[in-house]
Amino acid sequence: MRSGKILLYQTGAQPEAVCAAALSAAGCTVVKFYCPLAAAEDRERYFPVLRQLLREQRADMVFAFAYEPALSEACQLEGVLYAAYCINAPEMAVIADNLANDCNLLLSPDTRQTQQLLAAGAANAAYLPLAPVLTAPAQQRAEGGPDFEEISRMGDGEKGQFPKYSAISFVGSRHTDNIYSRFSGLPDQLRGYLDAATSAQTQVYGCSLFDAMIDDTLLDGLRQLLPIAQAGQDAARYRYLLTSCILPTQATMLERTRSIGYLKQEFGTRFVWYSREPADAGQDGCRGPISYDAKLAAHYAAPYIHLNMTNRCRSAGVPQNCWDILECGGFLLSNYQADFAGLLEAGRDFVQYGSGRELRDMAEYYQKHPDEALEIAAHGCRTVRENHSWTARAAELLEVL
Amino acid sequence: MKLLVYEWNGFGYPDLKETLRRMGHRVERIGYVVRDKCQDSYFEEKLAERLKQGFDALLSYNFYPSAAQCCQEAGIPYISWIYDGEDFGLYCPATGFDTSYIFCCDSAMAEWLKGRGAAHAAYMPLGVNEKRLAGIRPTAAERGRFRAEVCFIGSLYQNKRSADEYQLPPYYRGYFEGMLRAQLQICSDRFLDELLNEELAKLLLSNLTIDPRYETTERELALSLLLTSATKRERFVLLTALSERFPTTVYTFSDTKNISGLENRGVIDYNTDMPKAFLCSKINLNITHRMIKTGIPLRVMDVLGAGGFLISNYQRDMEGEFRDGENIVLYCSEEELLEKTAFYLEHDGERARIAANGREYVRSRHALSRHLFEMLGMACGSDAAETGKSPV
């Protein structure tokens, strides 16, 4: 599909506007629409309206940054292609009833999740990495990019900034109030086993331990003890929710709590942490939320060591913040994710760690070698701007279609 | 040089002595099995007496604090080459003596020792007697006797004290099982250390009394129990999985009746028969004891030096030494082990190529003489390491 008419279902996802602009620039006619479909009564009310819209618009495709089962159903009935870009982590599309509708094209920014979608019955699924949404502050853009020369000249305490790359920043929440933490009624032995599993996962990158550790017998026991509404009676759905959503979120909480505690202890006031989770406020120096706009872009452009600790629900993919940090000229220190390979070069565009010890060693190293950090940040920024824009992704998407 | 070798009942001493002699050194031995690893007065007395005869250095596999004490008093280097993943002698203060030169086949262990004040601790991979191995040629009858599809030589550690024996409260029983189950998924790295918490360590040691002469912690001892449990579990699981799919042979004194498909041929002589078994097996298997955190275990060198084809779990110290698919085959998970075993059983040419590369690499890069030259040079001075010369 080289061009055509795309009905964009608005979900408020961060990449929506910039992706729509890229599709328009590629020659597509993009018509945005929205109708509430989350609640059962909304679906009942708006489903006929939706079908009417599809008939009237005669679009080539409906596109959304989410999988909405009702959208799929409407498209299936009206014979319209539905491209759903499943960017959430965890992603509930995997347990959708009508995933196998042949109007569906599921896109995922995570190669492992793409395989999960296919295994769950999706007729068509394809991998499509994310791309930056935030852009460097306007001044930097006007001048052709982050002023790396300026950054390299920043000295001690100048303009109230930390010396370049002497501070480390993390933007994200700990997920302390997660489903696992609210599990009650588990026998002690089972609780101990699952606690060990989630702790172990924090030590391992690049693969999930949970599937192999939750055998069918254990799964059946858990289904009796802790029913999950979204799974219903379906064991495969329960397994997915437990091993790809609930337990990974707990592992994320453990890992971030441990790392944040260490960073606060080692870096003190030079640890800069933003989180929108109320439970994080005031903990370990958390500064509260930061809005996803120019303010965050300016923060990412600052010469900090910008840390990414991927939510474990995203098992392989490169998360959004990595793209944003690099586009804004930030120096990225990220945990290992399999999908970095082929997109970005570790050691040249960014640096990655594969253990807690490596995180500590690298943070210490780049504090002491700010010029190297600057060089890597500059290279990463160039790589992303040259190869990984939404213009490029739009072209890839149209190619897939 | 005039060297004294302290020989206990471990592997490798004939090769060690023969190689030193071939290098031109005068080699004598003192043989004794210590009763108390930390201190054995009888042994110290005999060794001290012997050292008065004038030696340039004492050598042993593994570390014996009594030997280190005697060498410290005599002012001569004690060269110990650690090939076991667990050596309680390393918890004694004697590791910090000026005369104690400790070479570890595990780089993580060498770093740990340095951190404890062992100034002369260093990483040194193990070696093979390339001359002896080059002469190993199984007869037709031996080829029949030692023929195997998949072969594992080693202990299953059923009788070794481990954490499985202990009664634990339900939460910690579950946690313990979870730790082991998690670790079993990952054959290429060890993270049990990070998962062991203080409460579990205390529980595991609640029935033991720590000998105060060993400068160790509850956590280190608990970890030792845990790692033995992990090894037991891992070897059982992997050998069971293999024997369900492929004809699998083991040479071990361990009881293997719980693994029904396994053919157990009992113990095998290390020097004369083991290399032949390696040569006559299509696939040899190494499952590293979890106490060896990063190092290349002796079994790897044994198999490759003999010319056998080896599939081994990945160990970090293999980086830069061995290349997967070139001179060794590596696995990082049970699934990968099974896949590669199936593949290589069907590809004779590939096995032969990789085995030949492995043999050539180990016999040259890891010849005993090469490593001994280096160790003697570090302990006694570079001039002294050469044939016939004594240190200043």
Chain A residues with CB under 8 Å of B191 CB are: 200, 203-204
CB-facing half-sphere around the CA of B97: CA atoms within 13 A: 29
What mean pLDDT comes out for the span A166-190?
A: 92
pLDDT interval class at A50 (50, 70, 90): very high
Residue A181 confidence (pLDDT) above 50: yes
Residue B114 confidence (pLDDT) above 80: yes
SS3 of chain A: helix, strand, coil, percent, to 5: 50, 15, 35
Q: What integer pLDDT is reported at residue A1 of this predicted model? A: 65
Per-residue CA distances from A269 to A273, A277, A285, A383 (Å)? 10, 20, 8, 32
Residue A210 confidence (pLDDT) above 80: yes
Whether B178 sits inside 8 A of A189 (CB atoms) is no
Residue A150 confidence (pLDDT) above 70: no
Q: Complex ipTM, two decimals?
A: 0.89
Q: What integer pLDDT is reported at residue B391 of this predicted model? A: 33
Of A188, A193, A204, the CB nearest to B186: A204
Q: Quick one: closest CA in B to A205, which residue?
A: B186
Q: What integer pLDDT is reported at residue A271 of this predicted model? A: 93
pTM, two decimals, is: 0.88
pLDDT interval class at A151 (50, 70, 90): low
pLDDT tens digits, B333-370: 999 999 999 999 999 999 999 999 999 999 999 999 99
Residue B382 confidence (pLDDT) above 80: no
Q: What integer pLDDT is reported at residue A140 of this predicted model? A: 59
pLDDT interval class at B188 (50, 70, 90): confident
Compute the distance between CA of residue B182 and CA of residue A88 in angstroms, rounded to an integer.
Answer: 27
Compute the distance between CA of residue B242 and CA of residue A83 in angstroms, rounded to an integer.
Answer: 44
What mean pLDDT comes out for the span A70-95?
A: 91
Q: What integer pLDDT is reported at residue B10 of this predicted model? A: 86
Q: Which of B185, B233, B316 to mutate to probe the A interface, most A CBs <10 Å? A: B185
Residue B388 confidence (pLDDT) above 50: no
Of A195, A203, A213, the CB nearest to B191: A203
- Non-local (6+) Cβ contacts of B318 within 8 A are B296, B312, B328, B330
Whether A203 sits inside 8 A of B194 (CB atoms) is yes
Chain A residues with CB under 8 Å of B183 CB are: 200
Q: What integer pLDDT is reported at residue A2 of this predicted model? A: 66
Percent of chain B with pLDDT over 90: 78
- Non-local (6+) Cβ contacts of B45 within 8 A are none
What mean pLDDT comes out for the span B23-44?
A: 90
Chain A residues with CB under 8 Å of B175 CB are: 192-193, 195-196
Q: What integer pLDDT is reported at residue B384 of this predicted model? A: 56
pLDDT interval class at A158 (50, 70, 90): very low
Q: What is the pLDDT of chain B when averaged over all its residues?
A: 92
pLDDT tens digits, B129-170: 999 999 999 999 999 999 999 999 999 987 777 777 778 999
The reply to whether A186 touches chain B by the CB within 8 Å rule is no
Q: Are A261 and A116 in contact (CB under 8 A)?
A: no
Q: Are B199 and B218 in contact (CB under 8 A)?
A: no
Whether B170 sits inside 8 A of A192 (CB atoms) is yes
Dihedral (Cα; B173, B175, B180, B184), 10-degree rounding: 140
Q: What integer pLDDT is reported at residue A144 of this predicted model? A: 54
What mean pLDDT comes out for the span B98-119?
A: 95
Q: What is the pLDDT of chain A when averaged over all its residues?
A: 90
Q: Are A275 and A289 in contact (CB under 8 A)?
A: yes
Sheet hosting strand B100-104, strand order edge to edge: B26-31, B2-7, B57-61, B78-82, B100-104, B121-123
Least confident piece of the model among A341-355, B81-95, B295-309: B81-95
pLDDT interval class at A319 (50, 70, 90): very high
Q: What integer pLDDT is reported at residue A160 of this predicted model? A: 53
Instruction: Name the residue type at position A306.
Output: H
The reply to whether B186 touches chain A by the CB within 8 Å rule is yes
The reply to whether B169 touches chain A by the CB within 8 Å rule is yes
Whether A196 sits inside 8 A of B194 (CB atoms) is no
pLDDT interval class at A259 (50, 70, 90): very high
